[in-house]
Amino acid sequence: MFEVLVYVYENYWQGAACPEFDRLGRKLIAAGFEAEEIQQALIWLEGLNVAAKGTQISLPDESNPDSADPVSAHPRMLAQSSHSLRIYSVAEQEHLGAQSLGFVCFLEASGVLPPYMREIVLDRAMAAPGDPVSLDDLKIIVLMVYWSFGEEPEALVLDELCDDTEGRLAH
């Protein structure tokens, strides 16, 4: 499934450029992917699409002074306090594993993974195969979440997500 997701990311790097799922499925078959892999990836992508569209993100509209505060503009959306703490369920801890959870915390502490994206990353990681989800697979999930919002991660974040860290030596 993750090979299909990488293919989609590389070939449709802007999420809006991605064709409808039926057409995408035909293109993936033509690219040589197995039907089962394609089906899993399309189901996963549909869940990502639903999660991204369901996220209430509202930037202030400068032309409307009443919308200067996104929380008051959308009462269902609550800003996360800088003192809040995300507690992971036992199921999340077991399915994601310490290495993947540590990486999510690293991205969040670095300021590159806002809370709304973190929650989608966790949701999509829980829907991914693997027990625990490998760090490489989690990195693909993070890339796909950025992709679903039409955002490209900063260069250093992209390097961290795409670089093979196995051969690195600590100084």
Q: What does the domain layout of the chain look like in residue ranges?
A: 2-58+70-162
Sign of the CA dihedral with 151 first, then 157, 159, and 161 last:
negative
Note the pLDDT tens digit of each residue in 12-48: 876 567 888 889 999 999 999 999 999 999 999 999 9
What confidence tier does 60 reach under pLDDT thresholds 50, 70, 90?
very low
Tokens 């991660």 found at: 153
Q: Which residue is listed with tokens 């693909």?
A: 140
Backbone angles phi, psi at 103, to 5 degrees: -70, -40
pLDDT at 82 over 70: no
How many Cα atoms are found within 13 Å in the side-chain-facing hemisphere of 9?
24
Q: How confident is the model at residue 73 (pLDDT cuts 50, 70, 90)?
A: very low
pTM of the model: 0.79
Nearest C-alpha neighbor of 132 from the set 103, 102, 97: 97
CB 137 within 8 A of CB 130: yes
Which DSSP category does 19 fall into?
P
How much is the mean pLDDT over the chain? 81
Phi, psi values for residue 21, rounded to 5°: -60, -35
C-alpha span between 56 and 48 (Å, rounded): 14
- C-alpha span between 118 and 99 (Å, rounded): 15
88-102 per-position pLDDT tens digit: 999 999 999 999 999
Helices (H), the chain: 2-11, 21-30, 35-54, 70-73, 90-109, 115-126, 135-148, 155-162
